[in-house]
Amino acid sequence: MIIQGKLRNRLLGWLMSMMLIVGGLLLIDAWVTSQRSAQRAFDSQLEDALLAMSEAIQWQDDMPRIMMPPAALSILSTRHQERVFYRLIDDQGRVLANNLDIPLASKLKREAREGDVWLDTDYQGVKWRLHARSVRSAGWERQFRVQIWVGHTTEGRELLARDLLIRAVGRILVMGLLAVVMIFITLRLALTPLKRLRDQLRRRQSQDASPLSGSMPEEMRELVDTLEQLFHRQGASRDALLRFTADASHQLRTPLAGVQNVAEFALQSRSPDEWHQALSDIHASAARTSRLAGQLLNLTRLRHLALPAEHEVVELSALLRDVVLEWTERDMALQHDLGLASLPDSPISVLGEEWALRELIGNLIENALRYTPAGSEITLGLTLETDKVVLYSEDNGPGVAPEMLERLCQPFERGGRQDTEGSGLGLAIVETIAQRHQGTLQVSNRLEGGLHISLTLRQFPTGEADA
């Protein structure tokens, strides 16, 4: 397993990234809000100034004048703006009152006659905000409309917007710091169950397969269940290993004890014939013990050997033919009718390990030879089922009691037979090889008598092999 940093750091990184994104959005919103707030505040000030001026218009010498003291204008200003400038224009375009020197285009004056005008402009390197409205001189001797233009520089707006933004940024930073502290505390509390689980696993003895103790959050249920299943499988595997070791010790001790007894008897005898017989018995017992040790090694190697990265394409029909022909020439098969059923005309290939499949076929043949009487027929063959191939072995021997069929592939299981020299490991090796090839092994009694063993494997298409 590749370790890629700490979970806490990864969670913290994700949370901080999201906080930075949210913080950036909040800063953008604070900037927009501060600009809008300052704009509304100062636009409202201009509107109030224009309204106050329209109410302060009076006639002098048959001309409208704004009779508004400077103190009244200063009331309309804020601490960011000292003055509100204005201009009064009649409907003929003549300036009646003015302290606003910004030139106004004719188009703007026409627009002011039709409605309110707002204008942002630059004059002599200074930014200005202007507002204009046309009002009627109702109640005077002469009835005509006049335009009132008011304005001020945007410095006050910018200062107010900056103050509002600084305050908003300050609040965002304080909330961000509090959020960071809360995130650290939350992560520490959230990862506490994992630390408790880690400590419990560290204190756990290697042979302990009991369920985990203590309380865990619901989100860790699957992890805890998976660990407990792992402990259960380890416990079952350890128990099976202990049983296998005990059975293997018993199987090895029995022939060794026989060798010891025969040797002690020969040492007490004075007869050369008895010595010769004892040596023959010791030789036969050593051969059986050597065969048993070899099968134990094969079974252990198959159960603990890592699976290959890639399987090879094995031509199963040719392999089956070679193994059967090889066994027919052995002395063990001379008293049996060992044969091969008709094979399909086209080659049959599977993905697997040739040496393991050869071992499997050999164990099927040897198992049938050892557990059937002399003269029995033993037949091996292949059949096709859609995209699968079935390798089978059948005989016309005595078969096995139905209640023992399920246990027949367990190590040292002889199907209740004690009258043979079989070790009870042949079918265990066959089942292990079948599992390595993801095959399905079935053992059953034939209706006409004897045992039928079949292995179903996925067929490898010949076209793919040729490609």
Q: Are strands 451-460 and 388-395 parallel, antiparallel or unpaired?
A: antiparallel
Using the CB atoms, write b or e for 289-308: b if 16+ within 10 Å. Answer: beebeebbebbeebbeeeee
3-class DSSP assignment, residue 92: coil
Got the DSSP string for 377-396? EEEEEEEEETTEEEEEEEE-
pLDDT digits (tens, 9 = 90+) for 85-139: 888 887 777 887 788 888 888 888 888 888 899 999 998 888 999 999 988 765 4
Q: Over 80: is that where the pLDDT of 238 sits?
A: no
Last residue of a domain, one of 304, 331, 346: 304
Residues 276 and 364 in one domain: no
- pLDDT per position as a tens digit, 392-407: 999 998 888 888 888 8
Q: Does 440 share its domain with 331?
A: yes
Last residue of one domain, picked from the residues 272, 304, 336: 304
Give me the residue label for tokens 């096995």: 400
Instruction: Quickly count: other Cβ atoms within 10 Å of residue 412's Cβ.
Output: 18
pLDDT in tens, 197-227: 888 888 888 777 778 887 878 878 888 888 8
User: What is the pLDDT of the chain when averaged over all its residues?
Assistant: 82
Instruction: Round to the nearest angstrom and report the end-to-end CA distance of the chain.
Output: 35
Distance CA 292, CA 164 (A): 90
Within this chain, do residues 322 and 461 fall inside the same structural domain, yes or no? yes
- Other C-beta atoms closer than 10 Å to the C-beta of 328 total 15
- pLDDT confidence of residue 465: 46
Residue of 410, 323, 400, 398 lying closest to 366 (CA atoms): 323
Among 304, 329, 349, which residue terminates a domain? 304
5 Rama class: left (phi>0) / alpha (psi -120 to 50) / beta: left
Domain count within the chain:
3
The yes-or-no verdict on residue 266 having pLDDT over 60 is yes
Quote the domain boundaries for residue 243.
225-304
Assess whether pLDDT exceeds 50 at residue 3: yes
The one-letter amino acid at 208: D
Q: What is the CATH number of the domain that holds 371?
A: 3.30.565.10
For residue 445, what is the DSSP state? E
